[in-house]
Chains A and B, each alone.
Chain A
Amino acid sequence: MSAVLDFAKRPLVVAMVLIVALLFVGNVLSPGFASSQQIMRLLIVAALLGIVAAGQNLVILGGREGIDLSVGGVVSLSAIVAGNLMSGSDAGIPLAILACVATGAFFGLLNGLGVTLLRIPPLVMTLGMLGVLQGLLVVIRQGIPSGRAAPALSQFVTQPLLFGLPGIIWLWIVIGIVMAFLLARTVYGHRIYAIGSNEQAAWMAGVPVRVIRVSLFVLSGVFAAIAGMCLLGYSGSSFANVGEQYMLPSIIAVVFGGTSLAGGKGAYTGTMAGAVMLTVLQSILTTVNIDESGRQMIFGATLLVLMLFYGRGRAMRA
């Protein structure tokens, strides 16, 4: 019995149950909501959020108030860089991939160095970096006509590739498997948990704390850049600040996936479920016939209620 209870309390299980419940509610409110075609669309949108959340998840797992507020800026920047380099032609894809990954890695590196070498709190560092990225967006958009996605990229994101699933879903699955393997079965993964759980003990056990923390921010930038490219493929052309919508939701997806904001505890499988849950919730609210104000109120209130299921802080009096 207690084993069943323990199982039912696991964040992943909670998220799964909630997803199914939400799909059910959505289908009642708007018949056809849970059709396979609709679910596919939902998964594509969820994959975009989920890929951003992968990096966010790593940074948060690494502890010491790890958080990356600059992911939204990197997503936008990457979408614009990719759009400008492709300008609607498949030939530009390899260069665009290279440039995007390099861009994400570069800004992640700056974040990581600021956090480790200068010991700037991650919230402050990445908040400042967000401002820089937003400024850079204006500069890059200036003069160059807004780029368009290469047809192959759009196809990859929106059209079925294998077994009826589009490429981006496969990409997300691969990322999920890689992340799960990385965190559970590699020394690097164990070291991430170690520094997130007890940095001092990890350091005393010879873990290169700074190098690992920098690498987490770099990975966060890279994941956001990949998501930015995919977002370009999804929407066809890049436009201002498309990435901003991912900044805080990526953190919420991580929290809904059962990762503690204190670090050292959680896994990416939960985050994937969290991303799907968040997407389904948003999608229900856009489907039902209420105006924007009601939608936002319900969304905010639902988020609060859902948060009650997850890691609440310790009571002062034990």
Chain B
Amino acid sequence: MVDAVSQPVRRPGALKRVLERFPFLPVLIIFVALLALNGLYQPRSVSLVGLTGLVKTYLALVLLAVAQTYVVYAGDIDLSAGAIVSLVNVVIVSVMAYLGDGTFSVLGAMVIGLLVGLACGIVNGVVVAVFRLQAIVATFATSIFFTGVALYVMPVAGTPAPATFWRTYGGRILEIPFVFWLAIVLAAILYMLARTRLAMQLLAVGDDAQGAYQSGLPVTAIRMRGYAMCGLFAALAAFCVTGDTASGDPLVGGAMTLNSVAAVVLGGTALAGGFGTVVGSVFGALSIGLISSVVYFIGVPSEWQNLARGAAILLALMAGVLVGRRMRS
């Protein structure tokens, strides 16, 4: 029998369409509001110096949030992202310590670091996509393993990174802080990555893995590539951590994992997969950074700062989820 559907036509509202295209709008608003608050309480914090400091400190989290986004696209999660940061950090610091201070040494170490990150990502991809273990527990297990390897490479924190490395990271080129150049390069890379087949395929897998498979997409390989991307970006995050802290620490990234997940959610990406943007994650990570500085500048007593920060992040997460849903429906 013919189905003369009697449902009213749902014409998507203009706002909904804008939000479908730019799902990071809510976090952008949060980001601007936080920036304004910062400027209000401490005008210097929005000066060039203040912003340089913010980017320098939080570029690592930004990159890790981007890393996390690629796996979350497909409905997966990577709880080992922070451990990969630690591992790459100690590996490159050790390599540079071995090869000495020099451009060749730094570049060589970075290539090795990227390979290590990629390898970790592939390991995660294998256990989650090929062995079909639950992502949340399997990547927790690999995080323990990666931490073990990091401890093997460098049992105690403290080996310094060569001066070339952190001086460059903290320095300026053509009067513009190096980290801003990095940010520009990152923006270009993210723009290009968003136009690749992988981004669309990951999102399609996150939407409906079975449907994607039945459409002829190589779902297992796509999820693996998502984890590989995550490993690579985690390695990039480790470079920033190394530039910022100027030393090796086998546990440095551990605390960053959950923040990267929070940044992704804050950026409007659905943890269930299929929907989101890396731009949102970038601003999500920066917002987490700004929350910390607002809490500081607003004059919260030092022992209350963690609580204020935690509560503000929780509220921002809740607001992000609610606003995103309200505006989309």
Closest A residue by C-beta to B265: A124
- Binary contact track A115-158/B, C-beta < 8 Å → 1, others 0: 00011110111011111111111110011000000000000000
Question: Are B309 and A312 interface neighbours, CB within 8 A?
Answer: no
Looking at the complex, which of B135-143, B191-199, B275-283 is the stretch in contact with chain A? B135-143
Tell me the residues in window 117-151 of chain B with beta carbons closer than 8 Å to chain A beta carbons. 127, 131-134, 136-138, 140-151
Contact across chains for B310 and A127 when beta carbons are under 8 A apart: no
Nearest CB of A to B157, in Å: 13
A60 CB to nearest B CB, Å? 11
- Assess the A132–B307 pair: CB atoms within 8 A: yes
Q: A251 near B145 (CB under 8 angstroms)?
A: no
Contact with B along A297-318 (1 / 0, CB 8 A): 1111101100110011111110
- Partner of A128 from the list B146, B151, B308, B314 (CB cut-off 8 Å) is B314
A160 at the interface (CB under 8 A from B): no
A121 adjacent to B149 (CB under 8 Å): no
Say yes or no for B237: interface residue by CB 8 A criterion. Answer: no
Which of A's residues lie within 8 Å of B, judged by CB? 65, 67, 69, 114, 118-121, 123-125, 127-139, 142-143, 248, 251-252, 255, 261, 291-301, 303-304, 307-308, 311-317
Judging by beta carbons under 8 Å apart, are A292 and B144 in contact?
no
Quick one: which of A67, A129, A294 contacts B314, CB cutoff 8 A? A129
Asked if B313 is at the interface (CB within 8 A of a chain A CB), the reply is: yes
Q: Which residues on A sit within 8 Å (CB–CB) of B303? A: 138-139, 142-143
Q: Is the CB of A248 within 8 A of B138?
A: no
Cβ A124 vs Cβ B317 within 8 A: yes
Distance in angstroms between the alpha carbons of A261 and B135 in the assembled complex: 10
User: Which of A132, A134, A301 is most buried by chain B, counting CB atoms within 10 A of its CB?
Assistant: A132
Chain A residues, CB < 8 A from B147: 296, 300
Q: Of the candidates A125, A132, A297, which one forms a contact with B148 in the assembled complex, judged by CB atoms under 8 Å apart? A: A297
Summarize B's interface: helix, strand, loop or mixed.
helix
- Which one of A69, A124, A261, A293 contacts B149 once the chains associate, using CB atoms below 8 Å? A293
- Which of B152, B209, B220 interacts with A297 by CB under 8 Å? B152
Closest Cβ–Cβ distance, residue A76 to chain B (whole Å): 13
Give which listed residue, A65, A124, A132, A294, contacts B311 with CB less than 8 A: A132
Q: Which residues of A contact B219 (CB under 8 A)?
A: 316
User: How long is the Cα–Cα vector from A105 to B227 in the complex, in angstroms?
Assistant: 37
B131 touches A251 (CB 8 A): no
Query: Provided the pairs A67-B136, A139-B303, A251-B136 are in contact, do residues A300 and B155 lie with their beta carbons within 8 angstroms?
Result: no
Chain B residues whose CB sits within 8 angstroms of the CB of A118 once the complex forms: 318, 321-322
CA distance A67 to B271 in the complex (A): 13
Proximity bits, B315-329, A CB within 8 Å = 1, else 0: 001100110010000
Q: Is the CB of B136 within 8 A of A132?
A: no
Known contacts being A293-B155, A316-B219, is A139 close to B134, with CB within 8 Å? Answer: no
Say yes or no: B145 contacts A135, CB within 8 Å: no
- CB < 8 Å neighbour of A251 from B127, B137, B318, B322: B137
- Chain A residues lying within 8 Å of B150, measured Cβ to Cβ, are 293
B151 close to A296 (CB less than 8 A) = yes
